[in-house]
Chain A
Amino acid sequence: MFSFVVKRVGFLKDIPLFAIIFDSLMRFWMFLTKPELLDWIDDLEENVTRMHGTTIGIHKYGGTEFNYMGREFAHVHSNGLLDILLNTELKNSLMTEGKIKDHHVFKNSGWISFYLQNKQDVGYACYLLHKAYDRIKQKQDSMQLSPFVCRLQSGV
């Protein structure tokens, strides 16, 4: 159903609120049919909020967004589809483990998709989120440091 909507009527995602409402309806459906999935999503949220400098918000295409210093590094849709931003090298090495897939829309990017299907998947999802967090933290911190380093190198 999710794949069908993304493929066939994905263009509607740019209508304000459309994707958020669709995600809310998925959340409603999951609450009735697979309530434990919402627990796993909550576990992920709690795990991320324990990481320093993170915030959670609403993803523009529906779901919960995970940010570090205001920059998104992952989001989870209410059907348990976790999308995580890694880099291509990390993505390729993790792909060999066979648990993750290319992002369901952006195939040739650093984004990956991972479906939460059972309780055990939460642990692996947290592992992936930590990888993404470490990567974005390192990147953001180096970006904040770089003007200082430049100034030191140029002797200003």
Chain B
Amino acid sequence: MSLKTTLFKVLNSKIFQGILIANIFAFLIIGIQSSLAPEDTGILVFSEFVIIPMLMGIITAWFLKDMEIRGKQITGYSILNGLIAILMSFFFLGEGFICLLIVSPLIFGFIISGAFIGRAMFKKRNQKLNISIVSLLVGIFIVDSLSDHHHENMVSDELLIHASPEEVWKHVVAFDPISQKENYWLFKIGMPSPMATTVSEHRLGANRKCIFSNGYIFDEKIVKFDINKNLIFDIVDQPKDPEIMGHIDIKRGEFILKDNGNGTTTLIGNSWYKLHVFPTWYYDLWAESITRNVHFRVMEHIKLLSER
């Protein structure tokens, strides 16, 4: 069979058409939605990760509706559909590898669900039901796109250090580079982790810099400097990195040192962040996990330096 014939066959196959049209549809919708947004807020709404993948699955199922196709094949084509969408996001939307890894369960879960919902819908041949389901999804998409999205959260962690608050304080304001191995799986596969912190002066209003493993620097300003007790810093500038950093803004950090009166100190680390990606029930799990691991990487290092 010649290449031309093979190409013609592929282009004419319902499977190819289903996957192609589903992906074109998704990127058109995302393009239209971004162009209609009043300002470039960088916010990615719930519908982009839930409704669009589900509609992609339904579109593919519509192309496959007259074919005798088994569930395993539908699953395979849905995974291919999702992979293409993820690859296109990597190349055309500039998303990072880890960011796409985080989003992939949503994409695959909803595309596969959409494909099976579509199969059930088109088997029934009930046009009213089909139109109702699709209209409902489109309605949710429009309402969600036009709604305000704002989500801020705070993560708090604490660690017992066998040293006095005076000793701990020396390593809280600034600390030498962290040499311990990464133990959080996302850090191991390339997500930037905190490496060191420098400070211009030990006083209120001083500039602090938090340096990450890939060289990125978070510029911070000390807004509370209560020696041996409390340090609060606002993040004034952070890199727009495709690996998650564009999707979450760290707003403020805090260290509280509680003197336990027995030569030990309880070190509390707090961080405030703002999410730019929705749904929060999914991304907050990741954001909390990442923030918590950033805390513990820094706090374990402070513990090590203080107990030395």
> Binary interface profile of A, 48-67, with partner B (CB < 8 Å = 1, else 0)?
00000001011000001000
B117, A58: Cβ atoms under 8 Å?
yes
A31, B72: Cβ atoms under 8 Å?
yes
B72, A42: Cβ atoms under 8 Å?
yes
- In the bound complex, what is the Cα–Cα distance between A24 and B75 (angstroms)? 9
> Binary interface profile of A, 25-53, with partner B (CB < 8 Å = 1, else 0)?
10110010001001101100110000000
A24, B116: Cβ atoms under 8 Å?
yes
Chain B CB within 8 A of A20 CB: yes
B113, A38: Cβ atoms under 8 Å?
no
Q: By DSSP majority rule, is chain A's interface helix, strand, loop, or mixed?
A: helix
In residues 52-86 of chain B, which contact A (Cβ within 8 Å)?
Answer: 70-72, 75-76, 79
Residue of B76, B105, B110 touching A31 (CB-CB under 8 A): B76
Chain B CB within 8 A of A143 CB: no
Q: Which residues of A contact B22 (CB under 8 A)?
A: none
Chain A CB within 8 A of B11 CB: no
B110, A21: Cβ atoms under 8 Å?
yes
Chain B CB within 8 A of A17 CB: yes
> Binary interface profile of B, 169-211, with partner A (CB < 8 Å = 1, else 0)?
0000000000000000000000000000000000000000000
Residue of A35, A41, A58 touching B120 (CB-CB under 8 A): A58
B75, A25: Cβ atoms under 8 Å?
no
- A31-B76, A31-B79 known; A45 and B116 CB under 8 Å? no
Q: Which residue of A lies closest to B105 (CB)?
A: A25
In residues 95-154 of chain A, which contact B (Cβ within 8 Å)?
Answer: none
Q: Which residues of B contact A64 (CB under 8 A)?
A: 71
Q: Which residues of A contact B75 (CB under 8 A)?
A: 27-28, 31, 38
- In the bound complex, what is the Cα–Cα distance between A45 and B71 (angstroms)? 9
A28, B117: Cβ atoms under 8 Å?
no
Chain A CB within 8 A of B112 CB: yes
A-B pairs with beta carbons under 8 A, tally: 50
Residue of B72, B108, B116 touching A25 (CB-CB under 8 A): B108
Q: Which residues of A contact B105 (CB under 8 A)?
A: 25
Whole-angstrom distance between the Cβ of A136 and the nearest chain B Cβ: 20
- A31-B76, A31-B79, A57-B120 known; A21 and B113 CB under 8 Å? yes
B108, A35: Cβ atoms under 8 Å?
no
In residues 54-83 of chain A, which contact B (Cβ within 8 Å)?
Answer: 55, 57-58, 64
Chain A CB within 8 A of B246 CB: no
Residue of A24, A35, A55 touching B72 (CB-CB under 8 A): A35
Q: Which residues of A contact B123 (CB under 8 A)?
A: 55
> Binary interface profile of A, 1-30, with partner B (CB < 8 Å = 1, else 0)?
000000000000000010011101101100
B108, A39: Cβ atoms under 8 Å?
no
- In the bound complex, what is the Cα–Cα distance between A45 and B113 (angstroms)? 17
Q: Which residue of B lies closest to A31 (CB)?
A: B75
- In the bound complex, what is the Cα–Cα distance between A57 and B112 (angstroms)? 15
- In the bound complex, what is the Cα–Cα distance between A24 and B113 (angstroms)? 6
Chain A CB within 8 A of B109 CB: yes
- A17-B113, A31-B76, A31-B79 known; A24 and B71 CB under 8 Å? no
Q: Which residues of B contact A17 (CB under 8 A)?
A: 113
In residues 86-137 of chain B, which contact A (Cβ within 8 Å)?
Answer: 105, 108-110, 112-113, 116-117, 120, 123
A38, B72: Cβ atoms under 8 Å?
yes
- In the bound complex, what is the Cα–Cα distance between A64 and B108 (angstroms)? 18
Whole-angstrom distance between the Cβ of B89 and the nearest chain A Cβ: 18
Residue of B70, B71, B108 touching A28 (CB-CB under 8 A): B108
A24, B120: Cβ atoms under 8 Å?
no
A58, B112: Cβ atoms under 8 Å?
no
Whole-angstrom distance between the Cβ of A6 and the nearest chain B Cβ: 18
Residue of B70, B112, B117, B120 touching A27 (CB-CB under 8 A): B112
Between-chain CB contacts (< 8 Å), 15 pairs: A17-B113, A20-B116, A21-B113, A24-B116, A28-B79, A28-B108, A31-B76, A35-B72, A38-B72, A41-B72, A45-B70, A45-B71, A46-B70, A58-B116, A64-B71
Which residues of A pack against B, CB within 8 Å? Answer: 17, 20-22, 24-25, 27-28, 31, 35, 38-39, 41-42, 45-46, 55, 57-58, 64
Q: Beyond A42-B72, A58-B117: 10 further Cβ-contacts under 8 Å?
A: A21-B109, A21-B110, A24-B112, A25-B105, A25-B109, A27-B75, A31-B76, A41-B71, A45-B70, A64-B71
